[in-house]
Amino acid sequence: MHRTAGVSVEAMIEDLRTLVETESPSRDVAALAASAKTVAAVIESRLGGQAVLVESEAGPHVHWSGGGSPRVLLLGHHDTVFPLGTLARRPFAVADGRATGPGVFDMLGGLVQAVHGLATLEDRSGVEILVTCDEEVGSGASRALLEERALACGAVLVLEGAADGGALKTGRKGCGTFRVSVAGRASHAGLEPAAGINALVEAAHQVLDIAALDRPGIGTTVTPTVAAAGTLDNVVPAEATVVVDVRVESAAETARIEAAFAALAPHLDGARITVQGGVGRPPMPESASAGLFAVAQRLLPGLEGRAVGGGSDGNFTAALGVPTLDGLGAVGGGAHADHEYLLVGAMAERAHLVAGLVETIRTA
């Protein structure tokens, strides 16, 4: 491999601080606009060239190209799940070998490592970086763009945080959310309870029907997560909603689950059921990562791979048939939680791993 000088952990930490201290909650277009400019500035300062802001209704995505014929896409996102003000309560810090702060692990650390790893390569032609602004909320405004660039490049390295123990993510479940709405009829709970149609009781029946779709033995989990019903304690509730998280490992299970939700029927006379949602991210089979994972193991002997339940934009690229390897970002944990952290000691190794993968793919 043709490398320049090695990476500087101190420089990576400073760039990570810069990104973390530009808060970027999903759906906050103004904050995401500022974050995109910061991401673009970091990329340009380390790699040269121009990082283009691609506007969307969700906010700006950031796209950078090293020129030449596209061969490999580095894919990440700059939105986080934390609301504005989180930084004041949980500021960026480095202590005892850990960097902490909102978004360090998911996934700002991975962006920094990839940029610094790529900076060690003298020739960056054929390489693209795409950093989207809405991955945490389903990628509705970025999916077409990321699929287009994945197909153009022919290989995708996803910069999401590593699995437990630093393992790469070689497979992911498909995932989606369903919202089941129940319409009943209100009445006085004391004077005329029988005149109403109790949406809460109907919702309870639906929860049991939905939970029965669970097939954990084949990797399908169907989990009711949020429910709401009623207005006052003396009124038969006229409306109720149930939100359900779904994870599947196969297209066949996607079809079964979506058909089952479409077929949900009321138990109470007069109640009505409406279903919204679906399995928005298709499964990422381990076959999609096999070739790239073998390369990663040659570059870093002893590296492990693991199939995980969470979804990422790698689900979309793998579903297109584009070789995709995920979990190449930070080593750490606590995604979406207050104890989120990144292991500083792994940053250089992971930066070099990304660089090695890029060079191998680019010159194949």
Cα 128 from Cα 125, distance rounded (Å): 8
What pLDDT score does 1 carry? 37
- Please give the full DSSP string across 89-104, using - where no structure is assigned: HS--EEETTEEESTTI
Percentage of the chain modeled with pLDDT above 70: 99
Tokens encoding 292: 């790239």
What pLDDT score does 3 carry? 46
Neighbours of 61 (CB within 10 A): 24
Contact 200, 229 (CB under 8 A): yes
For residue 8, count CB atoms less than 10 angstroms from its CB and return exposed for 0-12, middle for 13-18, buried for 19 or more. middle
pLDDT band at 277 (very low <50, low <70, confident <90, very high): very high
Contact 237, 198 (CB under 8 A): yes
Tokens encoding 219: 């990797």
Neighbours of 251 (CB within 10 A): 14
Tokens encoding 92: 């960026």
What pLDDT score does 6 carry? 87
- Burial of 344-360, coded b for 16+ CB within 10 Å and e otherwise, reads bebbbebbbbbbbbbbb
Cα 231 from Cα 252, distance rounded (Å): 40
What pLDDT score does 56 carry? 98
Residue 44: in which H helix or E strand, if any? helix 29-47
Nearest to 340 by CA among 63, 25, 82: 82
Tokens encoding 98: 């850990």
Whole-angstrom CA distances from 75 to 10, 96, 160, 229 are 24, 30, 9, 40
Nearest to 47 by CA among 71, 65, 72, 34: 65
Query: What mean pLDDT do residues 184-201 have?
Result: 98
Contact 318, 90 (CB under 8 A): no
Contact 129, 74 (CB under 8 A): yes
Whole-angstrom CA distances from 231 to 179, 180, 267 are 19, 18, 22
Tokens encoding 56: 């969307």
Contact 117, 328 (CB under 8 A): no
Nearest to 114 by CA among 62, 58, 56: 62
Class of domain 9-172+284-363: alpha beta
pLDDT at 171 over 80: yes
What topology is assigned to 174-281 in CATH? Alpha-Beta Plaits (3.30.70)
pLDDT band at 5 (very low <50, low <70, confident <90, very high): low
Contact 242, 153 (CB under 8 A): no
Q: What is the pLDDT of residues 55-71, one digit of tens each?
A: 999 999 999 999 999 99
Phi, psi of 330 (to 5 degrees): -65, 150
Q: What is the pLDDT of residues 106-159, one digit of tens each?
A: 999 999 999 999 999 999 999 999 999 999 999 999 999 999 999 999 999 999
Query: pTM for this structure?
Result: 0.91
Q: What is the pLDDT of residues 318-350, one digit of tens each?
A: 999 999 999 999 999 999 999 999 999 999 999
Q: Where are the domains of the chain?
A: 9-172+284-363, 174-281
Percentage of the chain modeled with pLDDT above 90: 97
The half-sphere exposure of 60 on its side-chain side, counting CA atoms within 13 A, is 17
Residue 245: in which H helix or E strand, if any? strand 239-248
Tokens encoding 57: 């209704």
